[in-house]
Amino acid sequence: MYLEKLFGLSGKVALVTGGGQGIGQVVAQGLAQAGAKVVIMNRANVEDTVSLIKSAGGTAMGVQADVTSEKQVDAALQKVLEAYGTIDIVVNNAGICMHQSTLEMTPEDFRRVLDVNLTGTFIVARAAGRIMIGRGIRGNIVNMASMSGSIVNIPQWQCSYNASKAAVIHLTKSLAMEWVDQGIRVNSISPGYIATPMSTDNPAEMNDAFIKLIPMRRMGDARELVPTILAMVSDASGYTTGSDFIVDGGYTCL
């Protein structure tokens, strides 16, 4: 009973950006199973995840917004407040990746990756932080970083993605220190290669090459990220803020 209360999210409202597929969809389902009311924020296709959660007996709603648009994010969060009255948890999961060498990548493509992965995380975190601080909510924010924020992936070249995720890790630490006195904890999670459309759509030879570099010799399952995120957003990690949790099958040990 003690652990159930420590890790449980009953009565909490959790927002997941980019929750229409992949890691975001799996994390959203995990939060719902822990008792949270879950809000899926996506540019489109919010209903698939909402339906999955509801069919399993959970509570969920969807809001459409582009995380790079402050206006759209603010409007979406207002809908959440109208529906549930609070926002306790944010999982900043929305992100994109482009596999291009530096010499091939245009400045426009570079900016696009940083705009979604970094600026989008900033916009959502700031909007949620304003609500939490204004209402005295002792909230939790988890930003989706990546092991690519700590290492350089091979054989694919993705300087924009790597740079954006390194920045997300440091943004997390910065927000954690700014908001610690307001009772808001901010942490990040850095997955390694996870079997989602973003990674499995790669050419087979590319996947074979990087799997050989993973000590566990396999990609992770998105469900293997859920326990870490549940710990971060629950009372179980009440003394933890500004930390980055790497879940990568041992890749960054090499």
User: Looking at beta carbons, which pairs linking 206-211 to residues 24 or more positions away fall under 8 Å?
Assistant: 206/155, 206/156, 209/154, 209/155, 210/153, 210/154, 210/155, 210/156
DSSP state of 14: E
Q: Could you confirm whether 146 is annotated as catalytic?
A: yes
User: What SS3 state is found at 92?
Assistant: strand
User: 59: which 2 tokens?
Assistant: 């509570």
Q: Could you confirm whether 51 is annotated as catalytic?
A: no
Catalytic residue among 164, 165, 190, 251: 165
Sequence-separated (6 or more) residues with CB below 8 Å from residue 154: 209, 210, 213
Q: Could you confirm whether 188 is annotated as catalytic?
A: no
Catalytic residue among 12, 146, 164, 234: 146
Sign of CA dihedral 71, 72, 76, 79: positive
Catalytic residue among 148, 161, 164, 237: 161
User: 56: which 2 tokens?
Assistant: 């399993």
CA distances from 10 to 88, 208, 249 (A): 11, 42, 31
Judge residue 192's burial from the number of C-beta atoms within 10 Å of its C-beta, 0-12 exposed, 13-18 middle, 19 or more buried. Answer: buried
Sequence-separated (6 or more) residues with CB below 8 Å from residue 212: none
Active site positions, annotated: 146, 161, 165
